[in-house]
Amino acid sequence: MKAEGINFALVGVGGQGTILASDVLAELGLKLGYDVKKAEVHGMSQRGGSVTSHLRWGARVYSPIIPRGEADVLVAFEKLEAARFIDSIKPGGLVLVNDYAIEPLSVQTTGVPYPGDEELRERLLQVTPHAYWVKGVEIAQSLGNTRAANVVLLGALSALLDLEESQWEAVLEMRVPAKHLKLNLKAFRAGREAVAAGVGARQDRDR
Amino acid sequence: MKRLLSGNEAVARAAWEAGVKVGSGYPGTPSTEILEAFAPYPGVYAEWAPNEKVGLDVAVGAAYAGRRAFATMKHVGLNVASDAFFAVAMTGIEAGLVVVSADDPSMHSSQNEQDNRQFAKFARIPCMDPADSQDTHDLTLAAFDLSEQFDTPVLLRMTTRVCHTSSPVELGEQRINLPEPGKYPRNLTKYCMVPANAQKRHPAIEERMGEIAEYAETFAGNHIEWRSSDLGIITGGVAYNYARDVFPEASVLKLGMVYPLPQKMIREFASRVQKLIVLEELDPFIEDQVRLMGISLYHPEELLPAPSPYPMTKGIFPIAGELDPAVVRLSGRQAGLLPLADAGGAAQPMTGLPIRPPVLCPGCPHRSSFYVLHKLGVPVNGDIGCYTLGMVQPLDALHTVGCMGASVGVAHGAAVAGDKERHVAVIGDSTFFHSAIPALINVAYNRSNVITIIMDNRVTGMTGHQDNPGTGRTLQHKETKEIEIEPLVKAMGFEKVLTLPAFDVAAIEKTLKEWLKSDEPGVLITREECALLPSARNRWLPLEVVSDKCNGCTLCFRVGCPAILKSDVLDSKTNRPLALIDPVLCTGCEICAQICPRDAILFRNQVQNRKTAQEVAQ
């Protein structure tokens, strides 16, 4: 882990649980002894709009916002949002993409097409060799609830960041309502295993 | 003990620690969570008022009665509350009073970008401007003390990034135990602002500001961090963070209180640095005052554009939009304060991506009225709330949006001016209670032919489901008297008053068509719970498209529902994609099913029957 801290950008669509994921990362940072800032923008619509959360760990964190090109980690809960925030990634940074599309209404009203996977893959590779794709929704569905996809992604992130599992789980216990905890712990472990086993998750490399 | 708190939670916590008894306000992004976080603390009274002016009057009333109080609102809320704000500046208070106003630089969820520090100067009220949650906590506590020490209300000016950023806060041990206040004041010269008394109060207020300016020199919230003497930065609010990140070597004068300014401290700082700049978001509020002091700021004319003849101009940093380290760095480079950028390296943005603008949610009860209004093609004057999204394509059914409660008055104005088209005003339940009641009385009293639709979704939606006078529940979700809209509107003098289920497309269309033929004013209430309320969620049932009936006519796409998608299957005759309903998003509101001319979308009972049949077959 980098002593100077980590900048996380979390992006997704309203209703995907981006905020909970950033809450967990904020508490974890605090637990690990960092100063922490977590900034989120509540947009105009309750569901269906872009949601962005900036999470910074450091010895002393000032700005709540991560400037473009300075995110060490981008977690995208939706593919189009990964594309939209591709310039937020620090070259060589870590990218985790939930392999899941939520088509915005504008695709129908304006005719601008949803970007293809191949194009996104190519563009991500130009920025960093560390881009991982996780089938978060599929994995969560196999556990019984697609809404746990955000925690599947957190599990995958925990494996990639090489932080102790128990610390993450302690924070999950703190932030997740008791009745959903069992499912979320399962989702977390499934995400972690997916990265370790390369099942439901894969890293893009230059071909 | 350190805890992670948002700026809003930090205000609530500090208000509780400060012994505040009463909090009142109106929801508004980014301020809403302050009262929500304050309400559960023991020993406090908290309420949603119908609007910000009432909220501030309530807080003033508590402070007159010797109890510490605060009022919360978003920046434009202070416009509504400004009458009370200016009034209490004159009278002062018996116990600490803080007015919390949350500005929204970059307008993430607002109609304008006003800088409410200006209100402090305008009304002669001191202003705190915190940089993060800890700072918010400390300045809120200080604000209550300052308020009592100088017999003045204090403005706590927050901004979106401070309100909605969480950072660690060292909590105070407990709530201050304040003594029981004395008898209610009978001090007419202070509290009855008739001309004779007000004329005496005004000079006293000006004198008070002088005393506070003196106090600002030693106020703990204002401090100098000495580092290099090459560059000195005067800053306040969230911009302090950007000063530290972008110019880590610079000396910084950090102002926790941005009005009135500590002039001696500023002169001392200016005299000991080579280059002096002011770094602040939005207006040149500090910058102008420093210039007025006769202090010259660093301004390399050869690098910067020639000053505009418009007096409200900033030297180095942009006046519009929120700052962030990238914006500050760019301005710093342009002004020669930082070396030019290294070439390349960073990723380029991807262009040509489909946008994801906010839309009315699937199952939103506002959708049907906008579908009908679009069809009727009448000019529609809108208001502030989720239903502002009725302007978005393909609904495209809203033609003006200004400020809270404006719809009705603006429509009436067009009507009395003789506009040839009939005007419809559209307003939500909470906004109706907020400020449309006088405007509707005006329509009834002066008899224009405006048709008003009150879209009653049983909650204040846009700000995240707050209760209001029409919901029958308080801020604490306790049951209370539900204020009924229909009798209220009838009592105003409207004869045409009708309530319809919001999802009944045909009935809404029929009623509006009829009313548009007559020349009378009318109030149509369309009622249905917000689809995201827990009780509505329990009724969600995704509808289905019968693919052999759908011929891709596209009519259902015109309701602008995110749950209706174009499938990959093309109709063999029309060669157009068939409709597809996303089962994750669809709530089963049946608007699309009602307008489908080919009965290709199953209604709820049909879906239910089909399911039952399948279960039986299994």
B569 Cβ contact partners less than 8 Å away, ≥ 6 residues apart: B547, B577, B578
Res B209 pLDDT > 80: yes
Per-residue model confidence (pLDDT) at position B532:
93
Q: State whether A48 and B356 contact (CB < 8 Å).
A: yes
CB < 8 Å to A4, chain B: none
Average pLDDT for B592-607: 97
Mean pLDDT of B224-238: 98
Lowest average pLDDT, out of A157-166, B214-223, B391-400, B401-410, goes to: A157-166
Task: Give the span between the Cα atoms of B562 and B555, in whole angstroms.
Answer: 14
Kindly identify which residue of chain B lies nearest to residue A58, measuring between CA atoms: B167
pLDDT winner (highest mean) among B341-355, B418-432, B556-570: B418-432
The average confidence (pLDDT) of chain B is: 96
**Stronger pLDDT, A1 or A129, i.e. the higher one:** A129
| ipTM rounded to 2 decimals | 0.92
Does residue B578 surpass a pLDDT of 80? yes
Contact call for A49 and B357, based on CB within 8 A: yes
pLDDT at A3 > cutoff 70: no
Nearest to B324 among A13, A65, A106 (CB): A65
Q: Closest-CA residue in chain A for B351? A: A84
Work out the number of other CB atoms within 10 angstroms of the CB of residue B205: 18
What's the pLDDT score for residue B472? 97
Q: Is the pLDDT of residue A105 over 90?
A: no
CA B455 vs. chain centroid, Å, equals 19
Q: Is B336 left (phi over 0), alpha (psi -120 to 50) or beta?
A: left
Confirm or reject contact between B245 and chain A (CB < 8 A). Answer: yes
Please indicate whether, in this complex, the C-beta atoms of B354 and A127 are within 8 angstroms of each other: no
Alpha carbon distance, N-terminus to C-terminus of chain A = 29
Do A36 and B166 lie within an 8 Å CB cutoff? yes
What size, in residues, is chain A? 207
Q: For residues B585 and B193, what is the distance between their CA atoms, to the nearest angstrom?
A: 57
Contact B606, B597 (CB under 8 A): no
HSE-CB at B490 with a 13 A cutoff on CA atoms is 7
Closest partner residue to A112 (CB to CB) among B164, B352, B532 is B352
Task: Identify the pLDDT of residue A1.
Answer: 43
Provide CB contacts within 8 A for B373, sequence distance 6+: B380, B390, B397, B424, B426, B512
CB contact under 8 A, B168 and A67: no
Interface of B with A in 339-358 (CB under 8 A): 345-350, 352-358
Q: Calculate ∠ Cα B287-B139-B271, nearest 5°.
A: 35
What was the pLDDT predicted at B424?
A: 98
Q: Pairing relation of β-strands B69-74 and B97-103?
A: parallel
Rounded distance between C-alpha atoms, residue B326 and residue B563, angstroms: 37
pLDDT above 80: residue A41 = no
Min CA distance, B195 vs chain A (Å)?
A: 45
* Assessment of whether the complete model's pTM goes beyond 0.90: yes
Chain B residues inside the 8 Å CB shell of A146:
584
B416 pLDDT tier (thresholds 50, 70, 90): very high
Q: Which of residues 428-487 of B touch A (CB under 8 A)?
A: 461-462, 464
Whether B399 has a pLDDT exceeding 90, the answer reads yes
* CB-CB under 8 Å, A127 with B565: no
Nearest to A42 among B164, B242, B565 (CB): B164
Q: Does A48 touch chain B (CB under 8 A)?
A: yes
Cα B296 from chain centroid? 37
Nearest to B241 among A48, A62, A69 (CB): A62
A80 touching B (Cβ < 8 Å): yes
Which residue on chain A is closest to B386 by alpha carbon?
Answer: A45
CA distance B561 to chain A (A): 8
Residue of A nearest to B31 (CA): A42
Could you give phi then psi for residue A7, rounded to 5 degrees?
Answer: -105, 120
Closest CA–CA distance from residue B419 to any residue of chain A (Å): 32
**pLDDT-wise least confident of B341-350, B378-387, B565-574:** B341-350
Distance CA A16, CA A77 (A): 7
Task: Tell me if chain B has a CB within 8 Å of the CB of A49.
Answer: yes
